Structure 1
Amino acid sequence: MNLTEYVKRVSLEDFGRPFTHQAQWNSRLRTTGGRFFPKDGHLDFNPKVYNELGLEVFRKIVRHELCHYHLYFQKKGYRHKDRDFKELLTEVDGLRYVPLLKTQSQSAYLVYQCQSCQQSYQRKRRIDTKRYRCGVCRGKLVIINRPTD
């Protein structure tokens, strides 16, 4: 069964309404499980979510995107902030947020530590250790970990 057929089946079973557009995989999605495009009505889904978290979680993400889809075509509030969306999402047991994937759970912080007093600093951006010193004792900073990108 391909993705569009699966989404059509979930739409009929969970919403009682047909899904008449296309659904496709989009491996460029990183932090979201799926995306709804109001302009042409198609849905994109993250294949990593299906592969790493399984069919049960993926079905809840399909429900989430179908909430956007059906509410948009009913001319109701289809955005995350709208009451119609929130009510329909809880009614069909869809996920509000995607659980962290293995690729996202890695630390995005750089950790620096003072060589003198062992004070540690977490930073998202790299700092110049030749220019900056420890704020406590003015000691030299060294990098402890590097996030894997």
Structure 2
Amino acid sequence: MTDLELQKLVEGISEASFNRPFKHKATFNPRLRTTGGRYMLQSHNIEMNPKQLEQFGEEEFIKIVKHELCHYHLHIEGRGYQHKDADFKQLLKKVGGSRFCQVVPGMRRRSKTLHIYTCKKCGIQFRRKRQIDLKRFVCGRCRGRLEKIKTISQ
């Protein structure tokens, strides 16, 4: 599906499900990793994750489009467009959109390494996903120097 086909699909769903036109731009954004799509508050455009369409099919993708259109129409009307708002929940249920999208396998980034540090003064251990610059940082408890013990790769 191209961006032009996506634009037509979003406009059609907007007219059919919401009885209102979609007057802005809908595009694919392949950089989206953990979300099915997003509504841009400033420009009112919608970006969709193409991996959702490839992985789960058009039926699930349409539910995600409806979710983003709920944000769009409620925001333009000045009503509660956030996930926590009752207006959003009611409209989403009415049009049959999905509350959450499925996770594309392999898209969530998990840190596979763990860095373990200890304080030379008090002996407390610190576990971190990211490395610490030992010249800049000290122990938060006693201000002692830190030393790296080991790195665990999982």
Which residue does 1:40 correspond to in 2? Answer: 43
Amino acid at match of 2:71: H
Summarize the Cα distance change of 1:4–1:124 in structure 2 as closer, same or farther, 3 Å threshold.
farther
Matched, 1:53 2:56: yes
Count the aligned residue pairs.
Answer: 124
Return the alpha-carbon distance in structure 2 between the equivalents of residues 70 and 9 of structure 1.
Answer: 14
Return the alpha-carbon distance in structure 2 between the equivalents of residues 85 and 93 of structure 1.
Answer: 12
The offset of 1:4, in angstroms, is: 0.6
Amino acid at match of 1:125: K
Summarize the Cα distance change of 1:100–1:5 in structure 2 as closer, same or farther, 3 Å threshold.
same
Uncovered stretches (5+) of structure 2, i.e. residues with no partner? 115-126, 132-147
Matched, 1:24 2:42: no
TM-score (norm 2): 0.70
Summarize the Cα distance change of 1:52–1:71 in structure 2 as closer, same or farther, 3 Å threshold.
same
SS of equivalent residue, structure 2 residue 38: strand
Q: Identical aligned pairs, as a percentage?
A: 41
Give the one of 67, 70, 81 matched to 1:67: 70
Uncovered stretches (5+) of structure 1, i.e. residues with no partner? 113-122, 133-140
TM-score (norm 1): 0.72
SS of equivalent residue, structure 1 residue 27: coil
**Root-mean-square deviation (CA), in Å?**
2.5
The offset of 1:13, in angstroms, is: 1.1
Which residue does 1:131 correspond to in 2? Answer: 149
Give the one of 100, 104, 124 matched to 2:103: 100
Summarize the Cα distance change of 1:15–1:37 in structure 2 as closer, same or farther, 3 Å threshold.
same
Return the alpha-carbon distance in structure 2 between the equivalents of residues 12 and 62 of structure 1.
Answer: 13
